[in-house]
Amino acid sequence: MMGPGIPWYLAISAMLFSIGVAGVLLRRSPLIVLLSLELMLNAANLAFVGFSRLFGEMDGQVFALSVMAVAAAEVCVGLGLIVAMARRNLALDVDAFTELRG
């Protein structure tokens, strides 16, 4: 294979996933939390594509495509929730929602 080997892809994937984790833990805006979730999903996709190339099997790419579809579904519902929150004049702050806290 020309260029970098699979460990390089996995390293980028690990770094991107950690950036996404930091975003979910740090930021309070549900929009940015959703964007950080996308980062984590894409990091997983990169690992899938890398492993797919490593083993020479395309199943990993098929799975990555399914992950993309599920991510689109998740964005649809997540953005619907955010818009519903905004219409009820609730603060767009994930720390403000404590009703379900046990």
Partner 1 sequence: MGNVVVWVIWLVAAAACLFTGVRVVIATSPFSSALSLIGNLASLATLYLLASGEFIAAAQILVYAGAVMVMFLFVIAYLGGRADAPWAGGTKLIQAASVVTASALMAVTLVAVMLDAGGRLSDESDVDRAFGSPAEMGRLFLTDHLLAFEITSIVLLVAAVGGVVLGMRSQAEALADAEEAAQP
9 touching partner 1, by CB under 8 A: yes
x/- site string to partner 1, residues 37 to 66, per CB under 8 A? Answer: -xx--x--xx--xx-xxxxx-xx-xxxxxx
97 touching partner 1, by CB under 8 A: no
Work out the angle at residue 70's Cα, subtended by the Cα atoms of residues 67 and 76, and round it to the nearest 5 degrees.
Answer: 140
Cα-Cα-Cα-Cα dihedral of 80, 81, 82, 83, to 10°? Answer: 50
Q: Under rule CB under 8 A, which residues in 15-34 are in contact with partner 1?
A: 15-23, 25-32, 34
Instruction: Give me the least distance between CB of 101 and partner 1, in Å please.
Output: 14
CA distance 64 to 61: 5
93 touching partner 1, by CB under 8 A: yes
Q: Position 76: which residue type?
A: C
Instruction: Give me the least distance between CB of 99 and partner 1, in Å please.
Output: 17
Work out the angle at residue 40's Cα, subtended by the Cα atoms of residues 6 and 99, and round it to the nearest 5 degrees.
Answer: 160
